[in-house]
Amino acid sequence: MQAVTVIGIDPGSQRTGWGVVREASGRLALLECGVVRALPGEKSFSARLARIYHELLFILSSHSPDEAAVEQVFTAKNALSALKLGQARGVAVAACAAHGLAISDYAPTLVKQSLVGTGRAEKEQVAFMVKRLLNVKGTGMALDASDALAVALCHLNMRRFARLTAAEH
């Protein structure tokens, strides 16, 4: 099996989590993760979107992932919040597409279910499983970054499952 590097993205207009994971011969390795944050005093929404786009382009250029996985927008109670989240997600997808990546979308419940076993898992439960799967010690990882890593790990699980079911047919 050939090694594959995946970037997972958890989009948000205030904080966009990202994480890069490599799988080689069934072994997972965390390459890097982080959060693109709105700057203090950065009031312009368009400036925040530009920051997400440019920072993701830099990360993509630095790590050259093979594929991207982006969390889908959940249904927000506030229509304006859902619209802003959708725009941040669109900017993240555009950055990945500009980098020439195949992009897969995953519902938040599927991401949680694939890692924790339930689609209603808390962020802390997801973070715990991400750290266990990637053998990360310590508590310094932001929840937005662990969510993004969960999206990447979900994608790798789905790739593995697709390969196994294709081999059966």
CATH architecture of 4-168: 2-Layer Sandwich (3.30)
> Are 105 and 70 a contacting pair, CB within 8 Å?
yes
In sequence order, the 6+-apart residues with CB closer than 8 A to the CB of 118 are 112
In sequence order, the 6+-apart residues with CB closer than 8 A to the CB of 152 are 6, 7, 8, 19, 20, 21, 69
Query: pLDDT per residue over 70-82, tens digit each?
Result: 999 876 678 888 8
Position 38 scores a pLDDT of 86
Catalytic residues: 10, 71, 144
pTM tops 0.85, yes or no: yes
Query: pLDDT per residue over 107-163, tens digit each?
Result: 999 999 999 998 889 999 999 999 999 999 987 899 999 999 999 999 999 998 887
User: Which residue ranges make up each domain of the chain?
Assistant: 4-168
